[in-house]
Amino acid sequence: KNQVEQSPQSLIILEGKNCTLQCNYTVSPFSNLRWYKQDTGRGPVSLTIMTFSENTKSNGRYTATLDADTKQSSLHITASQLSDSASYICVVSGGEHDMRFGAGTRLTVKP
């Protein structure tokens, strides 16, 4: 069973709307949690990195939250744009060389 579960699997929203993607994990011990954006046919691009002491971090219109107690993270996208259409991948590190990847949420933003 994957230790990083993302939901929803796919999401379609209209341009300008907000959305929230979820990431639940069971990785332990916990080191850090990252959100990546992966455009079709491209490599992942880092959006945010959070350690256990951080519970929110923003990168432009992207805001990630982390609740280390409940082992949940969310990625909130504000005022979506067509270019936000991509897969969003949650990655949880349990140690120096241990990175567990979620399957991703496929976001489609329609005009």
Partner 1 sequence: DTAVSQTPKYLVTQMGNDKSIKCEQNLGHDTMYWYKQDSKKFLKIMFSYNNKELIINETVPNRFSPKSPDKAHLNLHINSLELGDSAVYFCASSQGMRISTSGVSETQYFGPGTRLLVL
Residue 29 touches partner 1, criterion: CB under 8 A: no
Position among 3, 22, 26, 31 found at the interface with partner 1 (CB under 8 A): 31
Position among 1, 14, 29, 43 found at the interface with partner 1 (CB under 8 A): 43
Q: What secondary structure letter does DSSP report for 83?
A: G
Position among 2, 55, 56, 58 found at the interface with partner 1 (CB under 8 A): 2
Nearest approach in angstroms of CB 49 to partner 1 is: 5
List C-alpha distances in Å: 86 to 24, 28, 36.
20, 28, 10
